[in-house]
Chain A
Amino acid sequence: MDIARPKERIDSKAVTAWRTTGVVYVIISILSIIGFFVVSHFLGPYPIWISYILGGIALLSGVFLIGVIPSIRMRYWCYEIRDHEVDIQYGIIVIRRSLIPMARIQHVDTEQGPILRYFKLATLSISTAGTTHKIPALKMDRALSLRDQISTLARMSDEDV
């Protein structure tokens, strides 16, 4: 892109938060393997390859969700909030760059699951009439200030459309 990349990055703590989410997924898949053995023990033996598949999924998702994806995702995520528009870029294999004019923004939400809350992060979601765009894992106070900033800018933009 000859047009400069959006300037701002998401919080570096996001990587840790995503890794934690990955750990949760892996724990769930390990539990499902244990569950398989338990069920297999009580309700007659099931073929063992099912557990291999479950194990493989657990291992792969572990490697990707904890090791690979979070840092890459973090590196490719960027955004910028300008006077008249929000500019978001993300994606590794498919790079998506979206432009949302302030005047089109309907409302701004923040969203926070238990893991993000623990790390004091929040996801900002920006809705136009029809589309929704998310900026994940921002620092909580940053998300709040962005939300206010976007709200004010969006209100100002209403007048000069």
Chain B
Amino acid sequence: MFSPERAHPIMIFTGFFRQIRGFIFPILVAFGFQARSESGFFENRYTLMITIVFFLLSIGAGLLKWYFFLYDYKDGVLHIKSGVFIKQERFIKKERIQTVSYKANIFWRMMDLVTLQIETAGGYKEPEIDIEAVDRKKAEELREVLKKEFDQWSSQGTNGEFYREENEIDFQVNEASKNSETNSKQVACFEKGENHENGKAKTLKVGYKPLVLAGMTSSGIGVIFSFIAVIFGQGIALIPEDMMNRVFRVFQNIGGSVIISLIFMGFLLAWVISIIRFVISYGDFTIEKKEDEILIRRGLLEQKQVALKTHRIQGIRIVEGMFRQPFGYGSIHVEVAGGASKEEGFQTVIHPFIKNTEVYDFIKHIAPEREFINSVKKLPKRSLKKYLFRGLAPLFPLPIAFHYVPTNWPWLGMGIFPAAAILGYLRYKDGGYRIDGDHLVFRYRVMARTTVLLRRKQIQSFQIQTNFIQKMRNLTTPKASILTARGSAEFMVKDLTKEAGEELWRWYSKDV
């Protein structure tokens, strides 16, 4: 349809100007140095020579880049060839193209030229392809051809797979305040635990009691505590020395118990602050399920609203934090494809605090095509050793450090060893996987126990990774990559049996 074409020769100069822009600062600096000496900038032979060579090189580079940049469109495939020394050829199927847009600065507009920007899915990077300096008419033609396909395509049934929806605004932040008033009645009746029978929309609201509990068990406390500790530490450094001495004397008089209680008070304060912060950011948490859309509203001071299409959900994570798991609670997060690169929209919590017995129903309700599977196939006994090793290995330099840096309480430092061993054991105990139809469940622990629900169709690629120790012990680490708002995420369970790896491989493969 289109034969191989070069961009408008003006591209040579845009490349050139871009180069200049990058080097303008060093040139100015050089100029400044020259100005201070007696001879003028261009009077110095070398400076002049270097400047000329640099300009020639820049123009040459621009020329070569332009000469070697070719694009054409044939039989539904966009083909781009580029590169002077490192040749690159890119083929993009029409069906895969998400958006075609163009931009033009003022000079280009005068010449009726545009930069064509073509994006494919996974748009976390910059536009994947920029075709610079294209004649406007040609750009429009090309866009029409590519767009037609796109329109047909997006009107097809979606089936839980990743499709693009550039035109729909998915993340609307701070625009919810208007809606919230109209919805407040509806929400209020749910607080009493009634079900909305009339409409298709179903709303769920998280009350304040669970939110406070969630805040109490959130890991935010650690962050705040260390923050306070830093402030205290910095503050102490600022206090004049003689005042410090006086304070010390006071402390000596009042004794250790007061110090300990002060530390305790500090800890308590940090905790309360973290609870308040949590409640403010998750207050009024409302989740509403419409036919193919989930609406989430949260926040007391600054209300945030997120609307996401259910078919864009790529994975669900159930996270049971260290402090929550013992009480049987956790939070639920979703991984959503594309679109929301800017806002904090990636952090999509669909339930901040849920009892583990309610997870199944909640997921059935929010994403009916998914199922929460709570039991997993465990890791083999022989991988325990590897988990313990991984937990303890980073600590081995510690005794050596204690040897050289004397501390008053080496035993306090040593207490970290059993803690690491226990963590290693817990990681081993919790790890596992399960396959159920086209559903895949990975469970693992870093700090919090995490259960990931994936579907075969949404896994972009699958990998089994075996290092030489694993090979000797017949172990393997399977990894599944999915598409997320940040780009991609990889989920894995370390040290499964080789047989499990093969089972997963066969499950994912269509041909083996």
Contacts and interface: CB of A to CB of B under 8 A. Distances in A.
Interface of A: 1-3, 82-85, 87, 91, 93-101, 104, 106-114, 117, 122, 128-131, 133, 147, 151, 154-155, 158, 161
Contacts, number: 125
The 8 A-B residue pairs with the shortest CB-CB distance, nearest first, are A130-B488, A129-B122, A84-B510, A129-B121, A82-B511, A128-B460, A112-B87, A94-B467
Contacts of B498: 1
A88 to B, nearest CB: 9
Nearest to A157: B510
Interface of B: 76-77, 83, 85-93, 95-96, 120-122, 159, 161-162, 337, 457, 459-468, 471, 481-484, 487-488, 498, 502, 505-506, 508-512
Nearest to B86: A113
B74 to A, nearest CB: 12
Contacts of A91: 465
B511 A85 contact: yes
B466 A94 contact: yes
Contacts of B96: 106-107
Contact of A110 (B89, B121, B464, B509): B89
A107 B89 CA distance: 11
B463 A114 contact: no
Contact of A130 (B122, B463, B508): B122
B98 to A, nearest CB: 10
B482 A130 contact: yes
A113 B88 contact: no
Given A99-B505, A130-B481, A3 B512 contact: yes
Contacts of A85: 509-511
Contacts of A113: 85-87
A113 B482 CA distance: 31
Contacts of B89: 109-111, 147
Given A84-B511, A107-B96, A97 B463 contact: yes
Nearest to A2: B502
Contacts of A87: 509
A155 B95 contact: yes
A86 B403 CA distance: 53
A110 B80 CA distance: 11
Contacts of B83: 112
A140 B85 CA distance: 16
Contacts of B159: 161
B510 to A, nearest CB: 4
Q: Which of B460, B465, B506 has the most CB of A within 10 A?
A: B460
A111 B88 contact: yes
Given A100-B461, A106-B120, A129 B86 contact: no
Given A1-B502, A96-B465, A131-B481, 6 more contacts: A83-B510, A95-B465, A107-B90, A110-B88, A111-B88, A128-B481
A111 B91 contact: no
A3 B509 CA distance: 11
A98 B481 CA distance: 11
Contacts of B465: 91, 94-97
Contact of B510 (A101, A107, A109): A101
Contacts of A158: 95
B499 to A, nearest CB: 9
Contact of B461 (A104, A110, A114): A104
A117 B87 contact: yes
Contacts of A106: 92, 96, 120-122
A98 B461 contact: yes
Contact of A95 (B462, B471, B512): B471
A17 B44 CA distance: 45
A68 B91 CA distance: 35
6 contacts: A84-B511, A93-B467, A98-B461, A111-B86, A130-B488, A131-B488
Contacts of B471: 95
A110 B82 CA distance: 11
Nearest to B490: A131
Contacts of A107: 90-93, 96, 120
A93 B96 CA distance: 36
Contacts of A101: 461, 508, 510
Contacts of A84: 509-511
A99 B509 contact: yes
Contact of B91 (A1, A108, A161): A108
Contacts of A1: 498, 502
A118 to B, nearest CB: 12
